[in-house]
Amino acid sequence: MQRFERRLRKLRQELEARNLDAFIITHPPNRRYVSGFTGTDGTLFITGDKVALITDFRYVGQAQKESPASELVEATPDILAQSLSDLATAVRAKRVGFESHQVTFANYCQWAETAAGFELVPVKDLVEEMRAIKDEGEMEAIKRAVAIGDAAMAHAREFIGPGMTEKEVGWELEVYMRTLGAEAVAFDIIVASGTNGAMPHATVSDRVIQGGEPIVIDLGARVDGYHSDLTRTLVLGEPDDRFQEIYDLVLKAQLAALEGIRPGMTGREADALARRIIVEAGYGEYFGHGLGHGVGLEVHEGPRASKVSDDVLRPGMTLTVEPGIYMPGWGGVRIEDFVVILEDGAEVLSQKGKGPLGCLG
Ligand code: ZN
Ligand code: ZN
């Protein structure tokens, strides 16, 4: 339970710095990060010396087990506003922060109506910023999730053959990761063959995979709540010249970023390491997304690496490095590896460059 105490201490310092008497946490990954509670219904009310966890009847036993340090308040979601107001009144709170980027407008209106004698103060990304730097226990879970993703990619090279559908490939990869101990897949697996690969977030379809066309596979595993995220682009049989050209370019851009990323850089600078190479080769307009994102309790979290990101990379942060080129009517190539930022650079956690990345058989 030590890690929760540590996180709470840090959170309380932040509340004090913002002159807040209490803070409401509603976003499930943030709630889990601070309290350990993993149920789907639960709200934390945190003050300088207590943590109240509001949840409903279904989760009481689970909450006691996962979050023994929290004071349990049993309430159904429809009376949440009243419960929060009661808690704030009981501690004579004047300024109560809430996660403005996570609370619906309808909920906010309800809370504001019920709030008596205290002010609701919007706070953005407070716990998210704490979560961006991973501790040792988190890194352990992440490494296991990355290893399972890597193993699934190695497996993909062995079983995929012409005539299989994208759905069949996706299902085999999902079962394989679960067999290796993943508690779930991190997100809907992407198997985007041929022209489908031009859509960066295609999922799986009944399309039959053919020889000679690119197949973008993007997958991840979840272990103890932590995710991995990995992409490989494969070809069955002989790739054509165009594939080889685009693949080599994406790989060159990715390796430049993997080698160049340093703590202290902004997300924009990291993105530019890869983007520059793709733009110079004339494919800039086909790389329409950012270079990467942090991964942890959520698949997409801070920091962001993109053309517009001012996030500063710091030791202990995770980051995917995933340049891609997508050509409508042809297909796409994306290569995504997973790094952790160190004091003097970045360590690649996934199996970068082990065996031929691009071509099968
Ligand atoms: Zn991905
Ligand atoms: Zn990603």
Q: Which helix (H) or strand (E) holds 72?
A: strand 71-74
Both 237 and 262 in a single domain?
Answer: yes
Q: In the predicted model, is pLDDT for residue 357 greater than 70?
A: no
pLDDT of residue 201: 85
Report how far ligand 2's centroid is from the alpha carbon of 137 (Å): 22
Q: In the predicted model, is pLDDT for residue 351 greater than 90?
A: no
Give 132-186 pLDDT, tens digit per residue.
Answer: 999 999 999 999 999 999 999 999 999 999 999 999 999 999 999 999 999 999 9
Give 162-172 pLDDT, tens digit per residue.
Answer: 999 999 999 99
In a domain, 356, yes or no: no
Q: In the predicted model, is pLDDT for residue 282 greater than 60?
A: yes
Report how far ligand 1's centroid is from the alpha carbon of 265 (Å): 22
Least reliable range by pLDDT among 238-242, 293-297, 317-321: 238-242
pLDDT of residue 237: 85
Give 32-52 pLDDT, tens digit per residue.
Answer: 999 999 999 999 999 999 999
Average pLDDT, the chain: 94
Report how far ligand 2's centroid is from the alpha carbon of 229 (Å): 5
Report how far ligand 1's centroid is from the alpha carbon of 186 (Å): 10
CATH number at residue 34: 3.40.350.10
In a domain, 93, yes or no: yes
Burial letters for 284-320: b for 16+ Cβ neighbours within 10 Å, e otherwise?
A: eebbebbbbbbbbbbbebbbbbbeebebebeebbbbb
pLDDT range class, residue 102, cuts 50, 70, 90 = very high
Both 104 and 225 in a single domain?
Answer: no
Report how far ligand 1's centroid is from the alpha carbon of 230 (Å): 5
pLDDT of residue 200: 87
Both 114 and 212 in a single domain?
Answer: no
Report how far ligand 1's centroid is from the alpha carbon of 105 (Å): 31
Considering every ligand atom, which ligand is closest to the CA of 289?
A: 2
Report how far ligand 2's centroid is from the alpha carbon of 293 (Å): 6
Give 47-101 pLDDT, tens digit per residue.
Answer: 999 999 999 999 999 999 999 999 999 998 889 999 999 999 999 999 999 999 9
Q: In the predicted model, is pLDDT for residue 360 greater than 80?
A: no
In a domain, 256, yes or no: yes
Domain that holds residue 250: 136-348
Interacting residues of 241 by C-beta distance below 8 A, sequence separation 6+: none
Report how far ligand 1's centroid is from the alpha carbon of 208 (Å): 22
Report how far ligand 1's centroid is from the alpha carbon of 290 (Å): 12
- Cα gap 186→113, rounded to integer Å: 38
pTM (two decimals): 0.94
pLDDT of residue 239: 86
pLDDT range class, residue 1, cuts 50, 70, 90 = low
Both 145 and 125 in a single domain?
Answer: no
Considering every ligand atom, which ligand is closest to the CA of 201?
A: 1
Both 179 and 295 in a single domain?
Answer: yes
Question: Span 251-258, mean pLDDT?
Answer: 96
pLDDT of residue 353: 53
Report how far ligand 2's centroid is from the alpha carbon of 263 (Å): 20
- Beta pairing partners, 227: 222
Question: Span 335-357, mean pLDDT?
Answer: 83
pLDDT range class, residue 238, cuts 50, 70, 90 = confident
Total of domains in the chain: 2
Both 127 and 140 in a single domain?
Answer: no
Report how far ligand 2's centroid is from the alpha carbon of 160 (Å): 22
Q: DSSP for 229-264, please give it.
A: -EEEEEEES---HHHHHHHHHHHHHHHHHHHH--TT
In a domain, 344, yes or no: yes
Both 157 and 218 in a single domain?
Answer: yes
Both 163 and 296 in a single domain?
Answer: yes
Both 106 and 163 in a single domain?
Answer: no
Closest CA to 313 of 303, 323, 322, 321: 303
pLDDT of residue 359: 45
CB atoms within 10 A of CB 341: 26
Give 7-32 pLDDT, tens digit per residue.
Answer: 999 999 999 999 999 999 999 999 99
Both 52 and 149 in a single domain?
Answer: no
Report how far ligand 1's centroid is from the alpha carbon of 189 (Å): 9
